[in-house]
A = this chain, B = another copy of it.
Amino acid sequence: GERECGEKSGEEWVAIESDSSNVLKRPDLHRMMETTAQKLRLMGGTVELVDIGEQELPNGQTLALPKVVTATFGTDPNKHTVCVYGHVDVQPAKLEDGWATDPYNLTDINGNLYGRGASDNKAPVLAWIHAVEAYQALSMELPVNVKFVIEGMEETGSNGLDAMILAQRDTFFSDVDYIIISDCGWLSRRPALTYGTRGNCYFFAEVEGPKQDLHSGVYGGTVIEPMTDLIGILDTLISPSGKILIPGIREAVAPLSDEEWKMYQDIQFDMDSYKNKIGVTQLMYSNKVDLLAHMWRYPTVSVHGIEGAFSDSGSKTVIPAKVTAKFSIRQVPNMDPAMVKKQVTDYLHSVFAKRKSPNKLKVTMVIGAKPWLADTQHPLYEAGKAAVKRVFDMDPDLIREGGTIPIARTFQDVTGKSIIMMPIGGFDDGLHSQNEKMSRYNYIEGTKLFIAYLNEVSQIKKTSV
């Protein structure tokens, strides 16, 4: 049955440590793409593993990118053609980060399936596959042609995918009418359709001083320490109350309209349950509209960590010679990553210059992903509302996503096609953190939603495309 079949694939897929940020795991990632392609081949799809070239590593070496899997089910010109986008690479995960179970061994606890990538994005990709399988198992013709484009570099910025989409714009993508993305989650227990995402500019700020690490007893007091400089400049990015201090960033943000304010006010969102979920006593904003707005449509700065400093447990008396901070700024309309890159770089260099340090600062932007916004009145969204109504017997929340799904923006810019984001992940799935999971409920009902959605899309009038 669907249940057993879905679980078996889920186990097999989660067991592959397809961490795209770790170059040592690249063979696993290649295996993940091949496994995905093979699954689609066995279902009778026309499948290709598209070579998208190599990536250059910071040390100058090159490494083969994971191939992109494309698949086609049906080519009837009288039907609409949808293209489902998904990714099968994952964020890093280690048991010692605080996982209750082995992150690469899908584990069922009380109806939740725990494992890295379970929700982001392996189960949603499998749910789409199961939707096609369901039509096949019932010997029903697919109501629309279904294409898949599955990549393996999403977690590190979809390296190579933009060029592939551009290259295949007039071939694989030429007959595609709609793009569907299910790489996000609900806001509450209520199903949702997502009409916007934030972009992300990810920065490395490297401060380099002595030619090698030094003993802090022997040298402390005589050298200007790179860590002190780095902390000094990081402390100028954002105020304790969340105000971004980099000139020009806040000025670029589109103002919140009264309509938007009203819409946010009407969304079902429980502040207390949100607080409980993340385990904090106080949020950055104490009212719903401010909080949702800062989650979805305002930029923010997060400092992720520092490479090159002492990061293990225990005590080490070292002056690190070269330290690299990793931080990112979420992007919203009307920010422009190229402008943000310049604003951040100029600002940090000016702040650093005031320190009169002999150390060297290097600021690089390693990801520059634009935000995306859709029209919720489009027939694609009306079809989505109808499918949700059919499966869940309720109206969906119309929400935005704080995270970045940069490929939405690329699809829009390159193919000119309309896009819908139709999440099936739970609001508490723990993406990118410890104990990521997908509930059986969301996995199974989500599959039903996709089955119903294909049917709804088939009823969109061809003229309204």
Spell out A's residues near B (CB within 8 Å): 21-23, 58, 91-92, 97-98, 156-157, 185, 198, 200, 202, 209-225, 227-229, 231-232, 234-235, 238, 240-242, 274, 278-285, 291, 294-295, 298-307, 309-321, 326, 328, 330, 354-359, 366-367, 401-404, 430-435
Contacts and interface: CB of A to CB of B under 8 A. Distances in A.
A232 B240 contact: yes
Contact of A434 (B212, B222, B242): B212
18 contacts: A91-B317, A202-B315, A210-B278, A211-B279, A212-B279, A212-B430, A213-B433, A216-B328, A220-B330, A221-B284, A221-B299, A224-B240, A231-B234, A234-B235, A281-B358, A305-B320, A307-B312, A315-B366
A316 B430 contact: no
B238 A235 contact: no
A225 B305 CA distance: 12
B242 A224 contact: yes
Contact of A306 (B218, B283, B306): B306
A222 B284 contact: yes
A158 B18 CA distance: 43
Nearest to A241: B356
A315 B321 CA distance: 21
A350 B232 CA distance: 19
Contact of A156 (B235, B284, B314): B314
A337 to B, nearest CB: 15
Given A156-B315, A222-B295, A223-B284, 7 more contacts: A157-B315, A213-B434, A218-B432, A219-B402, A225-B303, A304-B316, A305-B320
A384 B21 CA distance: 57
A246 to B, nearest CB: 14
Contact of A300 (B220, B232, B430): B220
> Could you say which of A218, A316, A328, A354 has the most chain B C-beta atoms within 10 Å of its C-beta?
A218
Interchain residue pairs A-B with the least CB separation, the first 6: A217-B403, A211-B279, A305-B310, A305-B309, A282-B358, A221-B300
A402 B218 contact: yes
A210, A280, A307, A328 interface centre (most CB from chain B within 10 Å): A280
B311 A307 contact: yes
Contacts of A326: 310, 315-316
A421 to B, nearest CB: 14
B229 A231 contact: no
Contacts of A209: 280
Contacts of A357: 240
Which of A217, A242, A318 has the most C-beta atoms of chain B within 10 angstroms of its own C-beta? A217
B295 A304 contact: no
Contacts of A330: 216-217, 220-221
Given A213-B432, A215-B433, A311-B306, A285 B222 contact: yes
A412 B216 CA distance: 24
B316 A21 contact: yes
Nearest to A229: B240
A283 B356 CA distance: 12
A22 to B, nearest CB: 7
Contacts of A300: 216, 220-221
